[in-house]
A and B are shown apart, each in its own frame.
Chain A
Amino acid sequence: MFGTGGVFSPQGPIASQERDLIVTAVLLMLAVAIPLLAMLYTFAWKYRAGNPKADKTYDPERTRGVFRELIWWAIPAAVVAVIAVMNWQSTHALDPYKAIVSDNKPVTIQVVALEWKWLFIYPAQGIATVNFVEFPEATPVHFELTADAPMSSFWIPELGSQIYAMSTMQTQIDLMASSTGEYVGKDTEINGAGYAGMTFVAKSASQEDFDAWTASVKQSQNVLTMDAYNALMAPSQNNPQAFYSSFDKNLYGTILTRYMPPATSSDSMPANMEGMKM
């Protein structure tokens, strides 16, 4: 019914939990909604003007005391209470900043939203890519995100949660794919003319394939120097994929701090969105 891909074909633990959460919440709410609508249509039919049976029961002054009215508060309140508990638990379980428990060591990938493409930097592997991201299956992927563009939101529906990428700030998200496959990633927040074309391929591969792929990117002629980055930064739509065998070591830090006031850029650190604590 829901076409191909998307929220109802989860390919990782986060997306699976979120799918289950959506289904459970909908079923719970239907427990109130269906009786409500059943009452609505039944009463509408039964008490229609001109129905002789209803004429006898017509009671224009009918109303009930405060305690009887409390029933109608209690029913939605009960369901909302259950959903509130679910809400608290699932929000903590699915906190994007929470590490995914796994035997495999996480892979860290830094993501920069640009006008209008995604730059992926692999600090450990020493490579960088544009509009294509590959990672090993069944391995947590730790994304660190920022932007050198208007606010953008990073989303791979089959793998779960999205999170915003914003300039001068760093956000994080941990995702994992259960098996191999290729998924579409996208921006969900309007950020200018190239918004709709700001998609990327997220590929989950076996560890061997991932290692082989990393090695092959290492052979690439392209190097992401600061100059190359500045050229890449210029607005472009439907940008083709690109692969860089290495990148300027200061690149990510420079992007995070580039909007700091010049006078204080040496002594101020970017806001790390560590999650506001109440």
Chain B
Amino acid sequence: MAHFLFGNLTWGSLPHLWYTEGATASIALMGIAAAAALTYYKRWTWLWKEWLTSTDPKKIGVMYIVLASLMFFRGGLDAIMIWIQQAMSSGASHGYLDASHLQQIFTAHGDIMVFFATMGFLFGLINLIVPLQIGARDLAFPFLNSLGFWLYAAGAVFINLFFVVGGEFASAGWLSLPPLAELQYSPGTGVDYWIWSLQISGLGTLLGGLNFVVTILKMRVKGMTLMKMPLFTWTSLCSMVLVIASFPVLTATTLLLWLDRFFGMHFFTSGFGGNPMMYVNLIWMWGHPEVYILVIPSFGIFSEIVATFSGKRIYGYVSMVCAAISITLLSFLVWLHHFFTMGSGADVNAFFGIMTGIIAIPTGVQMFNWVMTMFRGRIRFTTPMHYFLGFVSLFTFGGMAGVLLSIPGADFELHNSLFLVAHFHTMIVSGGLFGIFAGIVYWFPKVTGFKLNERLGIRAFWLWLAGFFLSFTPLYILGFMGATRRLDHYAVTAGYQPYFIAAAIGICLIALGAITQLWQVVVSTKERKQNQDTTGDPWDGRTLEWSTHSPVPFYSFAVTPEVHSRDAFWETKIGRKELPPPGISLSRREAIPPSTKKYEDIEMSANTAMGIYLSAFVFLFGFAAVWHIIWLMLAGVIGAIACVIVRSFDEHTEYTLTAAEVEKIEMARKLP
């Protein structure tokens, strides 16, 4: 009976280790503090109505970024714990973590940083900016967007849930390769938590991807043809196409692994005809596109930034679009380069190696075009521009390391070494995070109505850059020395320790950089009166998002804009034919012709809490699947389906904002 009710759950599943007790206590304290603050300031209704149940992509985007920041903090703590262990654990000292604990930490670090930090930031920025760039007031499917966010949020809670119930996370690496991740070698619940946190958040990602592809293809304003779209919208489209094409593979693969673990099947087991190499193939068919999902949107962000801050049209727009599309297509033809060392023949290895090398061509084109955009420009060294320069510098070397690894003969000596770890961190930190940081600083005034403090922003950038060099240069060297990744201990004679210590100092600088960024937000919020953006166009921008107010009103555009060319907003500022004479002031706000369009009624999508309820049922299902509680699994499925049915009978999904109301709000804004 107890097993029927509670499955494999026992009292022993509750926290009993220092780190699970500590984490549970801090989760509880943070929850209590947040609840107390909400109660004290009487903000519960505000939180529920203005934020949690909102279907406005601008609100959802902010929620993505806030949650991704929390997960980034969690993943960063993991990184610090890994470095400290590796700096200490040489010879007689075995550090402060045992092997299994360290393995859980780096598994969680990888998954959290990829799925919950970087992906969350990207979905946040895409939600905030892409609709504005294409002149759309909302997404094609507002409810689906809310549901996608809440599934992502449920996955984020799920990946931390093992602290409270179970006490053990997966320890088989961020992709949980079998047979290590099979019951035979990983009998605990860690891998199940891994599977279901990815399943739940992956479902949200897939829904988000579908939504954005449809939105970008169908909801552009009049006049914005595909080849007039801003590059961030283009790269978001490419990234979301990759999501649609690759995430079902992840879902299917991890589901098969779960069938092995739950029903004792043999898809990927060592014995009984299971084929672990099939899993390796499948997971990388998703995994390689996934890295481009993370990096391509940042390419778009940098395209916007380098054009804006050089005061110039992007160089080679058509090339940039072709390059982004080629990367999208090629990313599906290279997965085998993750396992050249598994005994494929020379022909197969060489084919995948050469395909991988070919990706360097469109990537190189983008690099050159960005640099050529700066040529004969008028460059302002703002924080986003600093990140751009840091990105090109790091990404060039990271890319070289990548091309090197794409040559099987070189990979045979570098595979699974710290050189590989250094390579992909260079790519994801510069190509993913730096783009995200630059994008957040760049679009911050659009969302909040005030700019971030530039002095602190630039200081944070230098800390990040210096910290990155100090942490990852030693890793390239260690890789050449033959140091493998994921070591919980190494011999003194290996001579690794000085390099690991240098890397650990580097992570402290990075942590200081992250703290500075947080401080930057706090200081800027305090000084928001001085940094206010009253024009809606604080950077002399080029694309449509700068044509509306900052902060963006909830209806985004009072009148829908019209587009006649690329850089639609820039054109309205300068007129099509005349070039500004040298030395013209950067602020040309006056030049915008007053709109002749009248306000009209706007259809707005109404709030709904159904995304929250549905995700909660999916969450329960995942929890029950981890602990083998059959009745709860059924309850989760039935509840989720019931939510869909109830939602489909809801006829009040939209409301009308009348032209008079829009006019009233717009008039109020114009008053000083």
Partner-B contacts on A (CB < 8 A): 1-8, 15, 17-19, 21-22, 25-26, 29-30, 32-33, 36-37, 39-40, 43-44, 47-49, 54-64, 66, 69, 72-73, 75-77, 79-80, 83-84, 86-88, 90-98, 150-151, 153, 155, 157-158, 160-164, 166-169, 171-172, 184, 186-197, 199, 237, 258-261, 273-278
Specify which chain A residues have a CB less than 8 angstroms from the CB of B180 in the assembled complex.
150-151, 190-192
Q: Verify A22–B374 contact, CB threshold 8 A.
A: no
Q: How far is the CB of B662 from chain A (nearest CB, A)?
A: 34
Specify which chain B residues have a CB less than 8 angstroms from the CB of A77 in the assembled complex.
361
Q: Verify A54–B360 contact, CB threshold 8 A.
A: no
Specify which chain B residues have a CB less than 8 angstroms from the CB of A169 in the assembled complex.
277, 343
Given that A96-B343, A171-B342 are known contacts, is A72 also in contact with B319, CB under 8 Å in the complex?
yes
Given that A54-B378, A197-B489 are known contacts, is A21 also in contact with B407, CB under 8 Å in the complex?
yes
Q: Which residue of B lies closest to A235 (CB)?
A: B185
Specify which chain A residues have a CB less than 8 angstroms from the CB of B344 in the assembled complex.
273, 275-276
Specify which chain A residues have a CB less than 8 angstroms from the CB of B488 in the assembled complex.
195-196
Bound-state Cα–Cα, A276 to B350, Å? 12
Q: Verify A55–B347 contact, CB threshold 8 A.
A: no
Specify which chain A residues have a CB less than 8 angstroms from the CB of B484 in the assembled complex.
155, 186-188
Interface residues of B in 490-504 (CB under 8 A from A): 490-491, 494-496, 499
1/0 contact trace for B358-389 toward A, CB 8 Å? 10110111011101101111111100000001
Q: How far is the CB of A63 from chain B (nearest CB, A)?
A: 5
Within 8 Å of chain A (Cβ to Cβ): is B100? yes
Among B131-139, B144-152, B391-399, B605-613, the one that faces the other chain is B391-399
Q: How far is the CB of B90 from chain A (nearest CB, A)?
A: 11
Q: Verify B393–A40 contact, CB threshold 8 A.
A: yes
Q: Verify A49–B346 contact, CB threshold 8 A.
A: no
Specify which chain B residues have a CB less than 8 angstroms from the CB of A192 in the assembled complex.
180, 185
Q: List 5 A-B contacts (CB under 8 A).
A: A49-B311, A66-B318, A69-B369, A151-B180, A193-B103
Q: How far is the CB of B312 from chain A (nearest CB, A)?
A: 5
Q: In the complex, which of the residues A56, A162, A166, A261 contacts B582, with contact meaning CB atoms closer than 8 Å?
A: A56
Q: Is the interface of A mostly helix, strand, loop or mixed?
A: mixed
Interface residues of B in 261-315 (CB under 8 A from A): 270-273, 276-277, 310-315
Q: What range describes how many residues of B lie at the interface? A: 35 or more
Specify which chain B residues have a CB less than 8 angstroms from the CB of A39 in the assembled complex.
371
Given that A36-B396, A76-B361 are known contacts, is A94 also in contact with B415, CB under 8 Å in the complex?
no
Specify which chain B residues have a CB less than 8 angstroms from the CB of A195 in the assembled complex.
99, 103, 486-488
Q: Verify A93–B312 contact, CB threshold 8 A.
A: no
Q: How far is the CB of A275 from chain B (nearest CB, A)?
A: 3
Q: Verify A275–B343 contact, CB threshold 8 A.
A: yes
Q: Verify A151–B378 contact, CB threshold 8 A.
A: no
Within 8 Å of chain A (Cβ to Cβ): is B160? no
Given that A188-B415, A190-B172, A190-B173 are known contacts, is A73 also in contact with B319, CB under 8 Å in the complex?
yes
Specify which chain B residues have a CB less than 8 angstroms from the CB of A199 in the assembled complex.
491
Q: Which residue of A lies closest to B389 (CB)?
A: A44
Within 8 Å of chain A (Cβ to Cβ): is B561? no
Given that A29-B403, A55-B378, A87-B353 are known contacts, is A7 also in contact with B482, CB under 8 Å in the complex?
yes
Q: How far is the CB of A215 from chain B (nearest CB, A)?
A: 29
Within 8 Å of chain A (Cβ to Cβ): is B221? no
Q: Verify B412–A162 contact, CB threshold 8 A.
A: yes
Q: How far is the CB of A231 from chain B (nearest CB, A)?
A: 19
Q: In the complex, which of the residues B354, B368, B378 contacts A72, with contact meaning CB atoms closer than 8 Å?
A: B368
Can you name 9 extra interface pairs (CB under 8 A) apart from A33-B397, A163-B412, A164-B341? A25-B403, A25-B410, A36-B368, A40-B392, A58-B378, A62-B313, A69-B318, A162-B413, A188-B417
Specify which chain A residues have a CB less than 8 angstroms from the CB of B354 in the assembled complex.
84, 87-88
Which of B339, B346, B375 is packed against the most chain A CB atoms within 10 Å?
A: B346
Bound-state Cα–Cα, A72 to B376, Å? 17
Specify which chain A residues have a CB less than 8 angstroms from the CB of B316 in the assembled complex.
63-64, 69, 72
Q: How far is the CB of B382 from chain A (nearest CB, A)?
A: 10
> 8 closest A-B pairs (Cβ-Cβ)?
A275-B345, A76-B364, A157-B482, A161-B412, A188-B416, A259-B271, A150-B180, A273-B343
Given that A58-B377, A76-B365, A196-B489 are known contacts, is A163 also in contact with B341, CB under 8 Å in the complex?
yes
Q: Verify A47–B377 contact, CB threshold 8 A.
A: yes
Bound-state Cα–Cα, A246 to B88, Å? 41
Q: Verify A43–B374 contact, CB threshold 8 A.
A: yes
Q: Verify A59–B412 contact, CB threshold 8 A.
A: no
Given that A4-B495, A8-B480, A56-B582 are known contacts, is A86 also in contact with B313, CB under 8 Å in the complex?
no
Given that A64-B315, A163-B343, A195-B99 are known contacts, is A44 also in contact with B374, CB under 8 Å in the complex?
yes
Q: Verify B481–A47 contact, CB threshold 8 A.
A: no
Within 8 Å of chain A (Cβ to Cβ): is B477? yes
Q: Verify A276–B367 contact, CB threshold 8 A.
A: no
Q: In the complex, which of the residues B98, B408, B481 contacts A3, with contact meaning CB atoms closer than 8 Å?
A: B481
Within 8 Å of chain A (Cβ to Cβ): is B248? no
Bound-state Cα–Cα, A51 to B671, Å? 38
Q: Verify B486–A32 contact, CB threshold 8 A.
A: no
Bound-state Cα–Cα, A168 to B313, Å? 59
Specify which chain A residues have a CB less than 8 angstroms from the CB of B22 in the assembled complex.
none
Given that A76-B361, A166-B277 are known contacts, is A193 also in contact with B346, CB under 8 Å in the complex?
no
Within 8 Å of chain A (Cβ to Cβ): is B54? no
Given that A49-B379, A72-B316 are known contacts, is A278 also in contact with B348, CB under 8 Å in the complex?
yes
Q: How far is the CB of B177 from chain A (nearest CB, A)?
A: 7
Within 8 Å of chain A (Cβ to Cβ): is B580? yes
Q: Verify A73–B343 contact, CB threshold 8 A.
A: no
Specify which chain B residues have a CB less than 8 angstroms from the CB of A274 in the assembled complex.
345
Given that A47-B379, A278-B347 are known contacts, is A29 also in contact with B313, CB under 8 Å in the complex?
no
Bound-state Cα–Cα, A191 to B484, Å? 13
Bound-state Cα–Cα, A277 to B667, Å? 72
Q: Verify A58–B376 contact, CB threshold 8 A.
A: yes
Interface residues of B in 449-486 (CB under 8 A from A): 477-486
Specify which chain A residues have a CB less than 8 angstroms from the CB of B482 in the assembled complex.
5-7, 155, 157-158, 184, 186
Q: Which residue of A lies closest to B407 (CB)?
A: A87
Q: Which residue of A lies closest to B484 (CB)?
A: A188
Q: Verify B404–A22 contact, CB threshold 8 A.
A: yes
Q: How far is the CB of B363 from chain A (nearest CB, A)?
A: 8
Interface residues of B in 69-109 (CB under 8 A from A): 98-100, 103
Within 8 Å of chain A (Cβ to Cβ): is B583? yes
Bound-state Cα–Cα, A92 to B371, Å? 37
Specify which chain B residues have a CB less than 8 angstroms from the CB of A49 in the assembled complex.
311, 378-380
Bound-state Cα–Cα, A248 to B381, Å? 72
Bound-state Cα–Cα, A155 to B99, Å? 21
Q: Which residue of B lies closest to A193 (CB)?
A: B99
Given that A7-B413, A60-B580 are known contacts, is A47 also in contact with B376, CB under 8 Å in the complex?
yes
Q: In the complex, which of the residues A3, A59, A155 contacts B312, with contact meaning CB atoms closer than 8 Å?
A: A59
Q: Verify A91–B407 contact, CB threshold 8 A.
A: yes
Specify which chain B residues have a CB less than 8 angstroms from the CB of A161 in the assembled complex.
341, 409, 412-413
Specify which chain B residues have a CB less than 8 angstroms from the CB of A153 in the assembled complex.
341, 415-416
Bound-state Cα–Cα, A87 to B99, Å? 37
Specify which chain B residues have a CB less than 8 angstroms from the CB of A260 in the assembled complex.
271
Within 8 Å of chain A (Cβ to Cβ): is B351? yes
Bound-state Cα–Cα, A157 to B481, Å? 8
Q: Verify B360–A76 contact, CB threshold 8 A.
A: yes
Bound-state Cα–Cα, A234 to B339, Å? 28
Specify which chain B residues have a CB less than 8 angstroms from the CB of A7 in the assembled complex.
413-414, 479-482
Q: How far is the CB of A19 from chain B (nearest CB, A)?
A: 8
Bound-state Cα–Cα, A129 to B357, Å? 41
Which of A2, A3, A86 is packed against the most chain B CB atoms within 10 Å?
A: A3
Q: In the complex, which of the residues A2, A15, A171 contacts B481, with contact meaning CB atoms closer than 8 Å?
A: A2
Q: Which residue of A lies closest to B316 (CB)?
A: A69
Given that A73-B365, A83-B407, A192-B185 are known contacts, is A276 also in contact with B99, CB under 8 Å in the complex?
no
Given that A33-B397, A167-B270, A196-B99 are known contacts, is A48 also in contact with B379, CB under 8 Å in the complex?
yes
Specify which chain B residues have a CB less than 8 angstroms from the CB of A30 in the assembled complex.
400
